[in-house]
Structure 1
Amino acid sequence: MQVTSTDVKNNFGKYLKACKTENVIITKNGRRQALLLFYPGGAEMGRVGEPAITYGTTPQKEERVTYRQFLEMTEKSDHRYELIDGKVYLLASPSFIHQKVLGNLYSAFREYFKEHEDCGPFLSPLDIELMHRPLALLRELTEDDINVVQPDLVVLCDYEKDIDASDKYKGTPTLAIEILSPSSRSKDQIKKLDLYMESGIDECWIVDPSNHAVIVYVFHNHEIEENAMYMRGQTARSVRFPGLQVAVDALF
């Protein structure tokens, strides 16, 4: 569901109820600005995520950097970084529960793709270069429009053709998964979700260890076509890959 900020202001209670069954995207002046999500259990029943500055940690450089500058910086560092909309972010070290969930996801995905060998799951760290493709309708895209991210897990299809001479992947994943942490929650649910939607990725899973939930987003023509939330006792299912499913209880 997509609504204006004015409508939310005038009917906030209505949309708090609505977000129990679907995510509410809030727009201002025609642009997506926030996402209203339902969080079952605890005192926090609904949450408005607004674009914030922090992601993992605060940006390592407040000023915008070019794509080439980012490559030069990361080539000399052992740390993990992402480049999002011209800003550089240091990725925090993952927690135990993060790695447990990631391992369980990978095992389930790996088993499924044994029978679907044209695609396969790959774990972070793996640099994925993405662009906001709708920008091409407004102007010519340049290399400085490239964002470099490291989803926790990606599914790549027919990927051999997308490996360059330096053994770097240069294609677009079919599916991406982000596992939320306290430091990355707002960015993963808003900024990176928006990037995945506009880059040509077909499907994104947001895994929330705090609430034992999995949200599956399906994209079409750079918009959210459908989404579903799966809780304990339920089974998360892929739309892009029929038969790919994971019991939520088995993740945590």
Structure 2
Amino acid sequence: MIVNSTELQNNFGKYLMMAAYEDIVITRNGTEIARLTTKQQENQINWVHERMPIEGYGQKATYDEFLRLRSETEERYEYIDGEIYLLSSPKTAHQYAVTRLIALFHNFFEGTDCTPFVAPYDIELMKPSGEMNMVQPDLMVICDLDEHLGADDYYKGVPSLVVEVLSKSTRKKDLLIKADLYRQTGVQEYWIVNPENRQIIIYQFEDQDIKEMVSFSSEDTAKSFIFDELEIELRGLFKK
């Protein structure tokens, strides 16, 4: 039986039981990504990964396993706290906000030492414990590119400012897991942009703690903590 990833997410229990009698092939955008199958010798269901799990779900792995997966596929993944996350294709409201922000950031930072980048762009972050993570923020501002550009042409430092635009599949990860990751790894400022309620939450981190936090909505003008005069009018940021 073949089902798409959305159908499986919505009816996982149903297909888990059906897998006892026949293999369930899971597809995303018409491409087979995984399979539910019966492990005959032990008479139990086994989740067999051909690539990785359904978008938004974490899968335990070592960092080396993640790097091997990253080198073998064109799919987009993040690795946070020992788990691999498949990144979904963003929707229009998400991309509208990202496009508006990158245009505004480009104009603001032009001629300075800071450069805004958008995903997909891998950022490797190490926690104080030594645990490695790799994420693809929706938008980031890097002010030390020349100092931390590796021989492989990947950036090895920590962005000064990171922006994540919320979507249904990433909401929990962006609000909780990534906020904690950025706090611990030296990101100075974190913007959480919510197209659904037309809101921006801005955190300023210092010494692995939250120094300041402010929320902007509706007709407000969002203002950066660390970049003087960086201001974004929310009125023109979101798709009408």
TM-score category, normalised to shorter length: 0.7 to 0.9
**Which structure dedicates a bigger proportion of its chain to strand?**
2
TM-score in terms of structure 1 length: 0.71
1:47 — aligned with what?
none
Q: Which stretches of structure 1, 4 residues or longer, exceed 2 Å deviation after superposition? A: 54-57
8 Å contact from structure 1 (residues 55, 183) kept in 2? no
1:154 — aligned with what?
140
* AA in 2 matched with 1:73: L
1:112 maps onto 2:114 in alignment: no
TM-score in terms of structure 2 length: 0.75
* AA in 1 matched with 2:56: T
Q: Any residues of structure 2 matched to 1:1-252 within 5 Å, and which?
A: 56-59=55-58, 61=59, 64-115=60-111, 117-133=112-128, 135=129, 141=130, 145-252=131-238
What displacement does 1:56 show? 4.2
8 Å contact from structure 2 (residues 125, 158) kept in 1? yes
C-alpha distance after superposition, 1:51-82 (max 9, x if no partner): xxx994222x3xx3222211111111111000
CA-based RMSD:
1.4
2:34 — aligned with what?
none
Percentage of matched positions with identical amino acids = 41
* AA in 1 matched with 2:92: F
What displacement does 1:131 show? 2.0
Q: For residue 194 of structure 1, give the secondary structure of its aligned residue in structure 2.
A: helix
Q: For residue 158 of structure 2, give the secondary structure of its aligned residue in structure 1.
A: coil
Question: What is the number of residues matched between the two proteins?
Answer: 186
Q: For residue 154 of structure 1, give the secondary structure of its aligned residue in structure 2.
A: strand
Give the structure, 1 or 2, with the largest relative contact order (CA under 8 Å, sep 6 or more).
1
Structure index of larger Rg: 2
**CA distance in 1 between partners of 2:55 and 2:101 (Å):** 22
**CA distance in 1 between partners of 2:110 and 2:77 (Å):** 31
**CA distance in 2 between partners of 1:171 and 1:213 (Å):** 29
**CA distance in 1 between partners of 2:73 and 2:54 (Å):** 19
8 Å contact from structure 1 (residues 55, 187) kept in 2? no
Residue segments in structure 2 that go unaligned for 5+ positions in a row: 1-52
Residue segments in structure 1 that go unaligned for 5+ positions in a row: 1-53, 136-140
**CA distance in 2 between partners of 1:249 and 1:56 (Å):** 31
